[in-house]
Chains A and B, each alone.
Chain A
Amino acid sequence: MTEPFPTEIEADIARARRLAWWTIAWMTSIVIVMFLAMGSSQAMRTAFVEDLLSIVPSVVLLIALKLECKEPTRLFPHGYDRAHSIAFLIAATALTIMGATLLFEALRTLAMREHITIPSVFLFGQQVWLGWVMVAALLYSVVPPLILGRMKLPVARRAHDEVLHTDALMQKADWMTGLAGVGGVIGVGLGYWWADAAAAAVISASILQDGVKALRSAAAELADGVPRALGSSDMAADADALAKELKRRWPEGEIRLRESGRYILAEVHGVNPPPGGIDLDSLWPCEPERRWRFAELEFVPPERGAR
């Protein structure tokens, strides 16, 4: 695990890096456009804050990938694989905070029955309802996240990258927010005062749900829980298969799996280390191209007792 990245996922990591840079560039341009067209629309503000926060996972992904490459040091003898877990926690926290804040704001607007004003602007001497400018900005904000999010998902799956997966979820939230925002602004234009805040509430509830799910997985990973499937709090299928395989090999032992970044670490308790060592690849029960996931196997002899 001290090598930068397993060969099987080197290309995916490079692609993840490129996608993160593209995301930062596109989302920055979207944030500027949204800020200029925002006005007092709740759905627009929701979309703006969301676009702003959606840069966070890409930034932490780049930092985490840089740290993951670093050699172990005296103070960090296990290397920096877990930088990835910390990055995942940060990305998940950003998603959760964003969902909760926006939901609160939308519900408050609905409860206060605030009637929002979307005034007009004068462009090149012509009066234009600001709502149309907002709709144009929102439609612009939908396209890059839709494309980038779809490009990120398969890479995240292959490299088992929770941060990139959360980033892809954030992009999904972005384009959903954009479309719902269009509905909200048009609803206001049609005279429905609640349309804008209701759209914002629906979007933010969905963002909050994704955030909580990601936060649970991130916390589980840092608390040495079993490896989780991407975007889920259930045990990952490959980890489950590995646990069964280890149990089959050492039925007298207690199998404990945990995750460090994208890697699976396994312990077999109550069993002495087999003489002559073990070939980890021969124990991997799933697709060979994902063998890199299984990074460490440790045996804890019976005399050490259970902890």
Chain B
Amino acid sequence: MPRDQQGTLERIAEMQEVRVGVIAAAAQSPHFARLRDFVERSSAAAGGRPRVEDGTAEALLLRLEAGQLDLVVGEFDRASPWYRRVHLLPPIATRSEGDSEIEATAAARNGENGWIMLIEREARALSTPS
């Protein structure tokens, strides 16, 4: 408990692979190294290796929602409407951009509660106060 509603953790254990989407713009983030660490640690904890693909935030989040990806990492604005459609983890790191607070974090598919619990643990281990 809790178990995933669509069996993400089971699939990762079976395929030994975590399908990760990295938002292309994240490479320019000052927290990119920490996001990479997060992906490595989460994949290892779930018993898989990351298979990474780049793309735009919109395209990757749509694939995450459809169950074609297990995780999307990058920089997010919590005011985004995506916040309701996927589960956004607490920030691993934050930075300010104008009036917005940009969070370097990860998104998981809603309902995958076991998987989300695992990555939340890894995110917390890496997070620092902004």
Do A and B make up one complex?
A: yes
For chain A, give the interface size range: 10 to 19
Q: How many A-B residue pairs have CB under 8 A?
A: 59
Task: Tell me, yes or no, whether B6 is within 8 Å of chain A by CB.
Answer: yes
Are B111 and A127 in contact, with the CB atoms below 8 A?
A: no
Task: Tell me, yes or no, whether A115 is within 8 Å of chain B by CB.
Answer: yes
Task: Tell me, yes or no, whether A119 is within 8 Å of chain B by CB.
Answer: yes
Are A120 and B3 in contact, with the CB atoms below 8 A?
A: no
Are B3 and A190 in contact, with the CB atoms below 8 A?
A: yes
Instruction: Give which listed residue, A114, A118, A122, contacts B113 with CB less than 8 A.
Output: A118
Q: Do A127 and B1 contact each other (CB < 8 Å), given the known contacts A115-B111, A118-B113, A188-B113? A: no
Instruction: Give which listed residue, B4, B6, B111, B121, contacts A116 with CB less than 8 A.
Output: B111
Task: Tell me, yes or no, whether B24 is within 8 Å of chain A by CB.
Answer: no
Inside 8 A of B5's CB, which chain A residues have their CB? 115, 188, 191-193
In the bound assembly, the distance between CA atoms of A189 and B4 in angstroms comes to 8
Residues of B within 8 A of A (CB): 1-7, 87, 108-113, 116-117, 120-121, 124
Instruction: Give which listed residue, A117, A127, A191, contacts B110 with CB less than 8 A.
Output: A117
Min CB distance A154 to B, Å, is 41
Q: Which of A114, A115, A118, A129 has the most CB of B within 10 A?
A: A115
Are B2 and A188 in contact, with the CB atoms below 8 A?
A: yes
Task: Tell me, yes or no, whether A131 is within 8 Å of chain B by CB.
Answer: yes
Min CB distance A122 to B, Å, is 6
Instruction: Give which listed residue, B108, B110, B113, B120, contacts A189 with CB less than 8 A.
Output: B113
A-B contact pairs, 6 of them (CB 8 A): A117-B108, A117-B110, A188-B5, A189-B2, A191-B4, A191-B5
Inside 8 A of B4's CB, which chain A residues have their CB? 191
Min CB distance B68 to A, Å, is 15
Instruction: Give which listed residue, B3, B108, B116, B120, contacts A191 with CB less than 8 A.
Output: B3
